[in-house]
């Protein structure tokens, strides 16, 4: 098959989220199909400023068509429109204005997709809420496969999106929680769908993760000797980091009151919000893939405080290394992953956070049991051969349906 994969930004520098998800699946599918990427020239998700040259590019052997963004995002205007569309009655024109303001606005991409729609068997579009996906799905009518990467935030209830769910040739969900949420809101039960996750980007393709990751190397490089727990990702209030900081500092205060040394929280990622200046918080900034897996190998456990996720790839990375996790119970996706895997604990308030923190830091047998269960869950659901088989099965079903439809016509 010839497949086009549409995503709002694309590049080796973009190491997380739907963008990395798209790249890893594209590389996987390119083993058996002709795969091309359709994206914008943007690199920064806040401004959408053009950073890559327009035209045909090549990333890890994948042809990448890049189209310019007409204008960068006006953050103030976007915030005002979003407040209106998310929380008040609004017109279709206001919803369109919000989507344009969210971006990335690229009429050149939309027009190109319309021109070459029939050159591809399917257009696999990532992240339902972006301008690029919304318009690609509309232009590629009858050929659009949607990978929503939807979170339980107010965007999912904006009425304008209902049509792209209902008109999809197929929908690929990340988790059962995401599927149930979307089907409940979009009434797209009749659309073919499947739950297909994503594997992880390994630091070395020639070795097992457990062999290529080195906890001692991480401790030497960053001069961290004491036990610690780890956060990996954008350091942002939308990722629950403000609450994590509040809970952790209260736990540190409680430890000091009891004459104990507070537990160390190590942060990896780009800060969007201020990081507390406290001896129990250590921010080491951005790291490469090898350093990230070294950090996971050295950590006692991974913490994921986000309120909104469709699938947490960093949880999969932790479980691949047999590491337990601690997640925010208010995120149904994260809680569901932990409950299905028995790969960690979750917290719903500050007291639960402190209790879980102490359990995972102090009880080695609990850590090992959760880590072992997480590894088993990862192996049974997120190994690349499993992901490939699921995608091929779905594409085969769509191809068969298309052949039957052609004979009927």
E strand or H helix at 292, and its extent?
Answer: helix 289-298
Give pLDDT tens digits for 286-336. Answer: 999 899 999 999 999 999 999 999 888 899 999 999 999 999 999 999 999
- The structural domains of the chain, ordered by start, are 2-199+384-408 (3.40.50.2000), 209-381 (3.40.50.2000)
With 0-12 / 13-18 / 19 or more C-beta atoms within 10 angstroms meaning exposed / middle / buried, residue 193 is: buried
Secondary structure class of 230 (helix, strand, coil):
strand
Question: In sequence order, which residues have a C-beta less than 8 Å from that of residue 128 and are 6 or more positions away?
Answer: 134, 146, 148, 149, 150, 161, 164, 165
Cα torsion through 146, 152, 155, 160, rounded to 10: 50
Residues of the chain below pLDDT 70: 202-211, 402-409
CA distances from 203 to 15, 50, 253, 269, 294 (A): 12, 29, 37, 17, 10
Closest by CA to 298, choosing from 225, 373, 239, is: 225
Cα Rg of the chain (Å, integer):
22
Q: What pLDDT is recorded for position 409?
A: 37
The tokens describing 105, both together, are 């606005």
Residues 6+ apart with CB under 8 A from 380: 386
Q: Which two tokens stand for residue 301?
A: 């456990």
pLDDT of residue 16: 80
State how far Cα 143 lies from the chain centre: 24
């Amino acid at each position: 098959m010839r497949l086009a994969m549409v995503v709002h930004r694309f590049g080796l520098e973009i190491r997380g989220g739907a963008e990395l998800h798209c790249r890893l699946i594209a590389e996987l599918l390119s083993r058996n199909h002709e795969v091309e990427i359709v994206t914008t020239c943007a690199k920064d998700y806040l401004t959408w400023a053009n950073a890559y040259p327009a035209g045909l590019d090549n990333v890890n052997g994948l042809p990448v068509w890049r189209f310019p963004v007409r204008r960068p995002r006006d953050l103030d205007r976007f915030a005002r429109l979003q407040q209106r569309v998310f929380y008040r009655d609004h017109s279709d024109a206001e919803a369109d204005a919000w989507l344009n303001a969210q971006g990335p606005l690229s009429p050149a991409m939309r027009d190109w997709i319309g021109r070459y729609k029939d050159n591809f068997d399917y257009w696999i579009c990532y992240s339902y809420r972006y301008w690029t996906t919304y318009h690609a799905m509309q232009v590629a009518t009858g050929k659009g496969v949607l990978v929503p990467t939807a979170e339980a935030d107010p965007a999912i209830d904006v009425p304008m999106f209902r049509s792209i769910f209902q008109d999809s040739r197929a929908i690929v969900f990340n988790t059962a929680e995401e599927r149930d949420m979307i089907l409940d809101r979009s009434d797209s039960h009749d659309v073919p769908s499947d739950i297909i996750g994503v594997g992880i980007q390994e630091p070395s393709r020639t070795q097992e993760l457990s062999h290529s990751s080195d906890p001692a190397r991480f401790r030497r490089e960053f001069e961290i000797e004491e036990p610690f727990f780890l956060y990996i990702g954008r350091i942002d209030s939308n990722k629950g980091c403000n609450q994590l900081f509040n809970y952790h500092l209260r736990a540190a205060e409680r430890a000091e009151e009891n004459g104990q040394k507070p537990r160390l929280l190590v942060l990896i990622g780009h800060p969007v919000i201020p990081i507390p200046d406290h001896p129990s918080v250590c921010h080491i900034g951005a790291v490469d893939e090898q350093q990230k897996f070294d950090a996971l190998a050295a950590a006692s456990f991974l913490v994921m405080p986000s309120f909104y996720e469709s699938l947490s790839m960093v949880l999969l990375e932790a479980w691949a290394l047999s590491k337990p996790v601690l997640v925010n119970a208010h995120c149904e996706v994260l809680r569901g992953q932990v409950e299905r895997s028995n790969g960690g604990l979750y917290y719903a308030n500050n007291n639960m956070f402190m209790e879980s923190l102490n359990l995972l830091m102090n009880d080695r047998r609990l850590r090992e049991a959760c880590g072992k269960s997480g590894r088993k869950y990862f192996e049974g659901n997120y190994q690349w051969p499993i992901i490939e088989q699921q995608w091929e099965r779905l594409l085969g079903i769509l191809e068969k349906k298309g052949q039957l439809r052609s004979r009927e016509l």
